[in-house]
Structure 1
Amino acid sequence: MSSPSPVQIREANAHLAAVHRRVAELEQRLEAAENTVREQAESLIRKDEQLRAATQEITEAKDKEMYYLHEKLCKSEETIQRFQNMVKERDGMIGQLQHRCQLLDNICKSRPLLDSMLSHMAEAERLGPVIRIGDPTANTSLTDGESNCSPNRISNHKDFSLSEDDMDDQELDEIRFGTTV
């Protein structure tokens, strides 16, 4: 083996220098790529932290809103329950009032008959008892004012009316019921 010629040595040195330049260039590119990857990783880490913070804020806001809506729902349910109780009470009251209204309707329907009967009773009391002339056994104690049904005690059949409003309408009632009896 012979030693290489100076041309071969120069070519080998040039080749080695080119390889060294290429290695240095690749190392720079590698370093630049590593820097880029590092920057991207840091950027991703920052974005990840931002997204985690945003997610945490959204979660907290959601939890607060859910708590608020739950409280509002509970209050609404309490209000509904209170209203349902009020409706039940009022339904009971309406039932009682309807029954009373029916009773008053029945009384009002019977009133002309009662007024007529009271009118006849008052007229009968004004006439007094029937006394046989010449009958020594006739009881005259009923005419001395002690009777429960004496004209002094019941002078007007309106004393038996249903309300004070009937006293105001006495003249109208006498005309209305007086013509039908």
Structure 2
Amino acid sequence: MSSPSPVQIREANAHLAALHRRVAELEQRLEAAEKTVREQAESLIRKDEQLRAATQEITEAKDREISYLHEKLCQSEETIQKFQHTVKEKDALIGQLQHRCQLLDNICKSRPLLDKMLSHMAEAERMGPVVDLGETAINSSLTDGESSCSPNRVSNHKDFSLSEDDMDDQELDGVVFGTTV
């Protein structure tokens, strides 16, 4: 075989040199690309770790907030129960007071009649005992049955008034007024 010519050797050497330059250039680009990919991967790993930490913090904050709100809800429910109990007590008290108010209204409506009756009784008491015209005839007619309205008993009655002392007197609670046949 024949040896290559110097021109061919120069061309081959030039071609090999160009090929080496191209390979070196591609290796540099590959190295730069690998470096960029590595940096991006590290950046993604850091960002992933940051996002995980942020997610963990948010989850913990959410759990704390839920716990706090649950506690507040329980306290509010207890307060509501207390208020409902208080409302029931107040409603019962209102019912009692309304009944008493109705009683007082009825008493106030009856007051003029009671005042009139008391004034008549006081007037009858001021008149004094009946004159002794026929006391013996009256006494003999009463021997058949005693009456609580005899002239002798009129002076024993107290003066009628609406004082608190008289209202406290419980003797008249059982007395029923009416007629007998």
- Under a length normalisation based on structure 1, what TM-score does the superposition of the two structures give? 0.75
For the residues of structure 2 that align with 1:84 and 1:130, how far apart are their CA atoms?
71
For the residues of structure 2 that align with 1:4 and 1:19, how far apart are their CA atoms?
20
CA deviations 1:120-145 (Å, max 9, x no partner) are: 22333443468633426266x9566x
For the residues of structure 1 that align with 2:82 and 2:120, how far apart are their CA atoms?
56
Aligned to 1:120: 120
CA deviations 1:13-56 (Å, max 9, x no partner) are: 11111111111111111111111110111011101111111111
Shift of the 22–39 alpha-carbon distance from structure 1 to 2, 3 Å rule, reads same
For the residues of structure 2 that align with 1:37 and 1:57, how far apart are their CA atoms?
30
For the residues of structure 1 that align with 2:163 and 2:17, how far apart are their CA atoms?
140
1:5 Cα deviation from its structure 2 partner: 1.3
1:110 Cα deviation from its structure 2 partner: 0.3
- Which of 132, 135, 142 is the equivalent residue of 1:133? 135
Gaps of 5+ in 2: 169-181
CA deviations 1:91-121 (Å, max 9, x no partner) are: 1110110111010010011011112112222
- Under a length normalisation based on structure 2, what TM-score does the superposition of the two structures give? 0.75
- Which of 158, 161, 176 is the equivalent residue of 2:162? 158
For the residues of structure 1 that align with 2:157 and 2:135, how far apart are their CA atoms?
27
Gaps of 5+ in 1: 164-181
Aligned to 2:83: 83
Q: Does the Cα contact within 8 Å between 2:122 and 2:160 map onto a contact in 1?
A: yes
1:153 Cα deviation from its structure 2 partner: 4.4
Aligned to 1:48: 48
CA-based RMSD of the aligned residues comes to 2.7
% identical aligned pairs = 73
Shift of the 129–57 alpha-carbon distance from structure 1 to 2, 3 Å rule, reads farther
- 1:158 counterpart SS class: coil
